[in-house]
Amino acid sequence: MKKNFYYAFAFMALIATACNQSPKGAKTEATAENQVQEVEGGQYATACNHQTKIFWKGSKPGGEHNGIIKIKEGGKFLLNEGKLVGGEFIIDMNSIVDLDIADADMNAKLVGHLKSADFFNVDSFPEATFVIASIESLSDVPEFTHTIKGNLTMKGITKGISFKAKVSVVDGNVSATSEEFVLDRTQWNVNYGSKSIFKELKDKFINDEFSLKIEAYSMK
**Predicted confidence (pLDDT) per residue in 51-88, tens digit:** 999 999 999 888 899 999 999 999 999 999 999 999 99
Position 18 pLDDT exceeds 50: no
Name the average pLDDT for the chain: 90
Average pLDDT over residues 26-37: 93
Rounded CA separation 120/54 (Å): 15
182-210 pLDDT tens trace: 999 999 999 999 999 998 887 789 999 99
What pLDDT band is residue 3 in, cutting at 50, 70 and 90? Answer: very low
81-111 pLDDT tens trace: 999 999 999 999 999 999 999 999 999 999 9
**How many CA atoms, within 13 angstroms, populate the side-chain half-sphere of residue 160?**
10
Q: How many CB atoms lie within 10 A of CB 168?
A: 12
What pLDDT band is residue 20 in, cutting at 50, 70 and 90? Answer: very low
Rounded CA separation 90/49 (Å): 10
117-151 pLDDT tens trace: 999 999 999 999 999 999 999 988 889 999 999 99
pTM: 0.87
- Can you give the length of the chain in residues? 220
pLDDT at res. 22? 64
pLDDT at res. 38? 87
Q: 22-217, which class in CATH?
A: mainly beta
pLDDT at res. 16? 39
Q: DSSP readout, 2-61? A: HHHHHHHHHHHHHHHHHHHSPPPSEE---BSPPPPPP-SS-EEEEB-TTT-EEEEEEEET
